[in-house]
Structure 1
Amino acid sequence: MAWGIPFEIGNPVFLRDQAVTVQIPPTTARWFVFLHASDIRPLAPDQNGLISPMRGIGQLGEHAGNYVLIYDDGSEERAKIRRRHEVGSFDFRWGEQCTQAVTAIKPRPLSLNGVNEPKPMGDIAGYRYPVEWGARQKQLIVDDSVPWINFLWAFENSHPEKAVEALRFEPVCGTLLISGLSAGNARSMPLRWGKRRKAFLRFPAELSFDPGLDQHSLLDKIQVDLGQLITASPRLDYPTEDWEKTRQNLEPGTTLNEVLVEYTAHEDAAFHFVDGTRIAVRELDPGTAQNGFVLQAVAPADRLVILRVIEAGTNKVVPVKLHVHGRMGEYLAPTD
């Protein structure tokens, strides 16, 4: 499983000196997602000891090979595979990622409270806790420091109505290793997630919900396939009806079986619950309930509002202590 996309890896294709043709069951699909990696291409200085053009160790833009879809009517469609565009090297320096492919291990969040902090897959012994400045600013772990990293590249088939019966891999320069292939009919590019959103989750009262992340950045009751869960926290219950009568700095209550989930996901993604219940992301806007789980989208707060507090009698602008939250109790942070 990579980025929520299933792969069955058997005998990888080692592509170097000659073309390789692989027969597959006749498949009609809009998207073909390749799990692959290239070799490390060393930099070669000229007679003056200079490297020009400087493409980096990943040899940016170098034509590595061609992937060819062979349809059942005998026609073909060819895709050009370039280094650091459609494929990356199995080991690379910081900052030398791809423009059209992603590392096969998707980014995952850090814990907000520092308890049960997720651990990186590479160099666990040398990793320092608590997580310090840098990774903490992004609030995520990117597992690209492992001994071997594969890349995912999604190719859009221009003839999804035709059945593909074989693929031909043609070498051009260096070595490629193709480990897996997955096909599907996603509505849009399957590796491109939407912007951050929030959802309200109510789960059966008999279940206890732990908002903490395990060492793999996973929650114990809910996960998402084509996307990533960012945070999950108990929904705060504010005294909306009689808040004017409450004392200053009164802390809100919490509900034991209601959670606010923050996530980013593809439009075809689905949430998966501990009992096997599955709810599609596109069903969240109207809200849905299955097997005791209720999941509903929280409307985004994307409208800019400027607040100015004026002192009565003087018309002077005065500073105030301000807290703003949404209808579901979600905290709305100021922009400055």
Structure 2
Amino acid sequence: MNSNSDWSRRNFIQKTSGGVPTLAFMLQHAGPAPASKKQQNVSDKFIPIDLSRQFTATPADFGPRERARGLTRQSREDGLIRLPGGKQVFRGIPFLLGSEDALKKSWIALSSQPASWVTHSVEIPLNQKAAYICLAQFCGWDHNERPAPGQDVVERVGQMLAEAVLVYGDGGEQRLPIRRRFEVNSPSVDWGHLSFQAVPHRSDVPTRLDDPLRNAQLWGDLQCGVWESDYAADPALDSSVTLWLCALANPWPDRELKALRMESRDADPLVICGLTLFQGHENPLRYERLSLYRITLPEANAADAGRWQVSVDLGVVARTFAGRAFEPEAWLAQPRIGLGDDASAEPSRHIFAEVTASPEALLWLEDIKAGRRYQFELNQALPGRELEARAGGPRVEILERDKVWIHGRVLDTTTQRPTPVRLAFRSKDGRYIPPYGHRTEINSAWFQDYGADVQWHHSSFAVIDGSFQIELPVGTVYLEMTKGFEYKGVRRKLTIEANQRELNLEISPLLNFRSQGWVSADSHVHFLSPSTAILEGQAEGVNLINLLAAQWGDLFTNVGDMPQGPLVSQDRETMVWVGTENRQHILGHLGLLGGHGAPVYPMSASGPGESYIGDPLWCSLSEWADACRKREGLVVAVHFPYPTAELAADIVMDKID
């Protein structure tokens, strides 16, 4: 939940009960649309080769294939494989492809089986040096991947389709294999049939939680934070056809390459669509792990919406965000432990970018307002030293290069046993670092993220059971930790060592009302699973959690959790009891807690925003209250005094506890 967001449960109920269409309300709260994609930047280390003189085949020659009909709209009609054509940039690598016209030669088709449109061997003149030979290619489908019922076959993984022969200027040669599901694959693949040394021509596309969707059923996929490239999952794509890219390493990059000779080794065709030489030192398709870069701008205007764009040629920019002013000493001294921090209004000169890329990659910063572009060579960025752009001005520095995987525990100082808490680790610049299993970006919108994470104002927290694993940067980090009102909140500065593997933290009780017979309770909780509610209750010092099943139009939540009855924690100190919230948008809302036997149905009445369109007024609030009392339950006016209608009368008639 997000206590600082208008998109809270109470606000949602008030808005929808007042007749505001839910969809319109959601759209009003949607963030700005992502920036449109631009032509990718290309390194001058690439040399695309024109293959037009070597092309042997048209898509029509290759012929219609039944499995091609699902690739594009045109393919659905004629069954032909249709690929991108002309000048293309795939994953930062430029290619000169043939025509997109299905009747024009645009492919080199290699096969040992004679046909007018294939060749057994082709030699492509190069006459220059290269460290890697980048191929854009595909092969036919392996029918053994979809055997008929009862058919016993072996998939042709590793089938040698061709050899790439590097012909050197001194007469020497080097042969490199082109194998099915290693260096090449088919234009579409079933799940679980990816390549070992080749990648799709599409890049992974990072997403934001407020990105627009063509189809709302893709909402769950959006929560992952990325449209993966392997199976053409991006719904914005009109084509799911795949070209496979591989970068063949030249074992002698200092020797001039006279030519590349491609020789078929099987009747099954190999189709080459593009060839590009790379004169760098590292594989342009092999990315390093996600790294954090801090870009220092010429002015303190990092928060200017849409002004700055960060991109990388040989990689993916996973996230970018403006820096916030973080004063560690002032933060440590603040008494608001666990209550969240307001976003700083101070202007920032820093943009942070999380990037996975080849060591050969170039990072680009574009100032949309001024029309300026700045370039950084990532292999020159070092920890502790800012690298200036080639054209001067902005600077970039890689942060947190050294990290360690930590196994942590939080101990109660009284019992010296692990205890659940709500905690957050923060970097030197105040950035949230979640334990493994918890989100970096928490979706605080209604009914969208109900894991063991909390966003409070502009601060994020993870709820843990007393143990956790986390990857932390070596050096200084900051800890914030709470356990309800009966424990002393913690804010600490920690130093993580390079060889550290364990971290023991402590939290101390201030009071123990439970020993005096008191019980703390939350009478109104939605959406959580009962086991997650137990964990959050333990971390917040709550003994009884009333998790309320409810109806929201045609959506029913937590109904499946009611038949199992109350759930009790292992230490017997925390209980979750699933009741119901019974609602009518004019008369009022009731929480029916702790009842036994069958639930009080129906839970909502009289149509939106509580029940479905056209539902009648099944009963009054007082009838719901009487039914709950018969089940030995407790009746609570959960939004008292709103809605202002029957609630007052029911209180006077002693229907509400």
- TM (normalized to structure 1)? 0.82
Q: 1:114 aligns with which of 199, 210, 230?
A: 210
Which residue does 1:289 correspond to in 2?
388
SS at match of 2:126: strand
Which amino acid is 2:373 matched to? G
Which amino acid is 1:154 matched to? A
Which residue does 2:507 correspond to in 1?
none
SS at match of 2:223: helix
Residue by residue over 1:70-125, the C-alpha shift from the partner in whole angstroms, topping out at 9 and shown as x without a partner, is 222222222221111110011222221111111111212111x32356xxxxxxxx
Change (3 A) 1:92 1:240: same
Which residue does 2:215 correspond to in 1?
128
SS at match of 2:406: coil
1:152 aligned onto 2:245: yes
1:15 aligned onto 2:110: yes
Aligned-pair CA distance for 1:143: 6.0
Whether the aligned pair in 1 keeps the contact of 2:126 and 2:260 (CA below 8 Å) is: no
The separation in 2 between residues aligned to 1:45 and 1:238, in whole angstroms, is 57
Whether the aligned pair in 1 keeps the contact of 2:134 and 2:275 (CA below 8 Å) is: yes
The separation in 1 between residues aligned to 2:124 and 2:394, in whole angstroms, is 43
Comparing 39-48 with 239-248, greater Cα deviation is found at 39-48
Change (3 A) 1:7 1:48: closer
The separation in 1 between residues aligned to 2:166 and 2:393, in whole angstroms, is 45
The separation in 2 between residues aligned to 1:264 and 1:204, in whole angstroms, is 25
Aligned-pair CA distance for 1:271: 0.2
1:167 aligned onto 2:260: yes
Which residue does 2:426 correspond to in 1?
325
Which amino acid is 2:110 matched to? L
The separation in 2 between residues aligned to 1:30 and 1:24, in whole angstroms, is 16
The separation in 2 between residues aligned to 1:197 and 1:241, in whole angstroms, is 27
Change (3 A) 1:211 1:179: farther
Whether the aligned pair in 1 keeps the contact of 2:297 and 2:394 (CA below 8 Å) is: yes
Aligned-pair CA distance for 1:205: 2.9
Q: Which has the higher contact order (CA 8 A, sep 6+)?
A: 1
Which residue does 2:91 correspond to in 1?
3
SS at match of 1:52: coil
Change (3 A) 1:199 1:116: farther
Change (3 A) 1:45 1:200: closer
Report the structure, 1 or 2, having the larger helix content. Answer: 2
Which amino acid is 1:76 matched to? E
Aligned-pair CA distance for 1:150: 0.5
Which amino acid is 1:2 matched to? F
1:66 aligned onto 2:153: no
Which residue does 1:32 correspond to in 2?
133
Q: 1:193 aligns with which of 287, 305, 313?
A: 287
Change (3 A) 1:259 1:307: farther
Whether the aligned pair in 2 keeps the contact of 1:211 and 1:233 (CA below 8 Å) is: no
The separation in 1 between residues aligned to 2:126 and 2:244, in whole angstroms, is 24
The separation in 2 between residues aligned to 1:102 and 1:143, in whole angstroms, is 8
Which residue does 1:202 correspond to in 2?
296
Higher-Rg member (1/2): 2
Whether the aligned pair in 2 keeps the contact of 1:209 and 1:221 (CA below 8 Å) is: no
1:268 aligned onto 2:368: no
Change (3 A) 1:253 1:170: same
The separation in 1 between residues aligned to 2:381 and 2:217, in whole angstroms, is 35
Q: 1:279 aligns with which of 348, 359, 376?
A: 376
1:43 aligned onto 2:144: yes
Unaligned runs of 5+ in 2: 1-88, 99-105, 233-238, 367-371, 437-467, 469-657
- TM (normalized to structure 2)? 0.44
Change (3 A) 1:60 1:319: closer
Change (3 A) 1:294 1:305: farther
Aligned-pair CA distance for 1:63: 1.9
The separation in 2 between residues aligned to 1:102 and 1:45, in whole angstroms, is 22
Unaligned runs of 5+ in 1: 118-126, 213-218
The separation in 1 between residues aligned to 2:149 and 2:218, in whole angstroms, is 44
Which residue does 1:99 correspond to in 2?
196
Which residue does 1:238 correspond to in 2?
326
The separation in 1 between residues aligned to 2:149 and 2:428, in whole angstroms, is 67
SS at match of 2:329: coil
Which amino acid is 1:43 matched to? N
Aligned-pair CA distance for 1:193: 0.7
Whether the aligned pair in 2 keeps the contact of 1:110 and 1:141 (CA below 8 Å) is: no
Q: 2:406 aligns with which of 279, 288, 304?
A: 304
Which residue does 1:121 correspond to in 2?
none
Whether the aligned pair in 1 keeps the contact of 2:310 and 2:353 (CA below 8 Å) is: no
Which amino acid is 1:13 matched to? I
The separation in 2 between residues aligned to 1:308 and 1:92, in whole angstroms, is 46
SS at match of 1:174: coil
Aligned-pair CA distance for 1:187: 2.9
Percent identity, please.
21
Which amino acid is 1:71 matched to? Y
Which residue does 1:120 correspond to in 2?
none
Comparing 59-68 with 96-105, greater Cα deviation is found at 59-68
Residue by residue over 1:243-283, the C-alpha shift from the partner in whole angstroms, topping out at 9 and shown as x without a partner, is 24434133241644422211111111110122232101122
Residue by residue over 1:151-207, the C-alpha shift from the partner in whole angstroms, topping out at 9 and shown as x without a partner, is 111111122222112222222221222111122243333211111111112223386
* Count of residue pairs brought into register by the alignment: 314
The separation in 2 between residues aligned to 1:186 and 1:109, in whole angstroms, is 27
SS at match of 1:132: helix
SS at match of 2:408: coil
SS at match of 1:253: coil
Which amino acid is 2:256 matched to? A
SS at match of 1:251: coil
| Root-mean-square deviation over aligned CA pairs | 3.0
1:75 aligned onto 2:178: no
Change (3 A) 1:220 1:259: closer
Which amino acid is 1:259 matched to? I
